[in-house]
A and B are shown apart, each in its own frame.
Chain A
Amino acid sequence: MASPARTASRRSCVSSETDAEYDLLFTVEFPAVMRTVYLILHDLDRAEDVVQDAFVQLLKHWKKVSRYDRPGAWVRRVAIRLAMDSMQRERMRSLLERKIEPPRVPIPADVDVLRAIRDLSGMQRAAVVLFYFEDRPIAEVADILGCTGSTARVHLHRARKHLGEILGEEVTQDVS
């Protein structure tokens, strides 16, 4: 029979192992998820809050989620869902206060494109970021957004059409 000290020591070892696994995933995934969420929200502070909250959820459910094939996909999905919620709250706040802040872009970038993306609906914006920035195929975009492939394709199609109209660009072929 194992002594209490040995059991405690073994428990502590298991705990530090899972801590190390979590830390490793955090180090790899946090910056990537942060970039994606920032591109959806266009607000660094809010993106940081949202992504931290998503990783809090991950840590709370780590025992279960760590057994999944891709815990990174789980936390990305949670982060995007939280970003959508945050966007909705922000949109309500902006409507109430009649104040829309311009995107903060210190790095030279195509501001027109960013403004046009900002004009898209939450799902369209997330689809654009996952498809163009993360280079994910439609099936994965759908998986992360929690919708079917055809719905994701529709979001992307409408987003591209809207961007083409605003930017005066021709949308030649559909995405595959």
Chain B
Amino acid sequence: MSLDARVKDALERSSLIVDPDVRRDLATVRRKTRRAIIRQRVGLTVLAACVIAAAVFLGPRVLDVIRSQRRRPASTPSPSVLAGSYRVDLSGAGGSLSAAGLEGRWSITLEGDGSVLWHAPSGPPEGLPRDTYQVSGNSIVTNLFANDLCRGSGVGSYSWNLSGGTLTFVAVSDGCDVRRAVLTSGPWART
């Protein structure tokens, strides 16, 4: 007997063992199908319930976050609100400026990216890293002169007011007398 005939014969004989009870199997299949459909529906219902529950519990929080993010730009103006160049003449200002020989015309430029350029009566600083400022509402925090006149004094905090092209600062806290004197001794005119 050839290989093909042997394989065919063995399979045919072996298949004789299979004699299913079709009626019983049909009933089983129908029962299994009903269960599968119920399981599927229950699964979908549970999934839908979870989605609704998540929306109910997390929805208000998500909305709060979105609202607060929308509010933030209004209450927190970016540095560009004050961006521009300002000038002040502190000739005869006296006090710490006079003692330090810093009387005269000062100018500062508040850049839109939060950096500050300054120009003292004696000339601009050479080779120093740029100072920075940060605006929040009507407050401004800056490390102006941190690498020169206010080295080691940290940052100063001021409130500001910009009206009709005139910028004024009121000191809130600042450990550097020179910075306090330069910023608050006179109104800064926008140039």
Q: List the interface of chain A (C-beta within 8 A of B).
A: 23, 26-27, 30-31, 34-35, 38-39, 44, 47-48, 51-53, 55-56, 59-60, 104-110, 113-114, 117, 128-129, 132-133, 160, 163-164, 167, 169-172
Residues of A contacting B13 in the complex (Cβ-Cβ under 8 angstroms):
107-110
Give which listed residue, B3, B11, B20, contacts A34 with CB less than 8 A: B20
Give which listed residue, A31, A108, A128, contacts B18 with CB less than 8 A: A31
> B15 contacts A35, CB within 8 Å?
yes
Residues of B contacting A35 in the complex (Cβ-Cβ under 8 angstroms):
15, 18
The main secondary structure of chain A at its interface with chain B is helix
> A169 contacts B33, CB within 8 Å?
no
Q: A34-B18, A113-B7, A160-B4 are in contact. List 16 more A-B contacts (CB 8 A).
A: A26-B25, A27-B22, A31-B19, A35-B15, A38-B17, A53-B32, A60-B36, A104-B17, A105-B17, A107-B14, A109-B13, A109-B14, A110-B13, A129-B11, A133-B15, A163-B3
> B26 contacts A113, CB within 8 Å?
no
A98 to chain B, nearest CB (A): 26
Residues of A contacting B20 in the complex (Cβ-Cβ under 8 angstroms):
30-31, 34, 48
Residues of B contacting A27 in the complex (Cβ-Cβ under 8 angstroms):
22, 26
The main secondary structure of chain B at its interface with chain A is helix
> B11 contacts A31, CB within 8 Å?
no
B97 to chain A, nearest CB (A): 85
A28 to chain B, nearest CB (A): 9
Residues of B contacting A113 in the complex (Cβ-Cβ under 8 angstroms):
6-7, 10-11
> B32 contacts A26, CB within 8 Å?
no
Q: How far is the CA of A51 from the CA of B20 in the complex (A)?
A: 11
Give which listed residue, A52, A128, A129, contacts B28 with CB less than 8 A: A52
> B32 contacts A117, CB within 8 Å?
no
- The answer to the question of B128 belonging to the interface, with a C-beta cut-off of 8 Å to chain A, is no
> A110 contacts B17, CB within 8 Å?
no
In the complex, what residue of chain A is closest to B30 when comparing beta carbons? A59
Known: A26-B29, A59-B30, A109-B13. A31 touches B6 (CB 8 A): no
Q: How far is the CA of A151 from the CA of B77 in the complex (A)?
A: 69
- Which among B14, B15, B20, B25 has the greatest number of chain A C-beta atoms within 10 A? B14
Residues of B contacting A23 in the complex (Cβ-Cβ under 8 angstroms):
26
In the complex, what residue of chain A is closest to B29 when comparing beta carbons? A55
Give which listed residue, B7, B9, B18, B37, contacts A38 with CB less than 8 A: B18
In the complex, what residue of chain A is closest to B13 when comparing beta carbons? A109
Q: How far is the CA of A105 from the CA of B2 in the complex (A)?
A: 22
Residues of A contacting B4 in the complex (Cβ-Cβ under 8 angstroms):
132, 160
Residues of A contacting B16 in the complex (Cβ-Cβ under 8 angstroms):
107
In the complex, what residue of chain B is closest to A38 when comparing beta carbons? B18
> A47 contacts B18, CB within 8 Å?
yes
A-B contacts, 16 of them at CB < 8 A, read A26-B25, A27-B22, A30-B20, A38-B18, A52-B25, A55-B25, A104-B17, A107-B17, A113-B7, A114-B10, A117-B11, A132-B8, A132-B11, A133-B8, A133-B15, A170-B3
> A31 contacts B22, CB within 8 Å?
yes
> A56 contacts B3, CB within 8 Å?
no
Give which listed residue, B8, B12, B14, B25, contacts A30 with CB less than 8 A: B25
Residues of B contacting A44 in the complex (Cβ-Cβ under 8 angstroms):
17-18
In the complex, what residue of chain B is closest to A135 when comparing beta carbons? B8
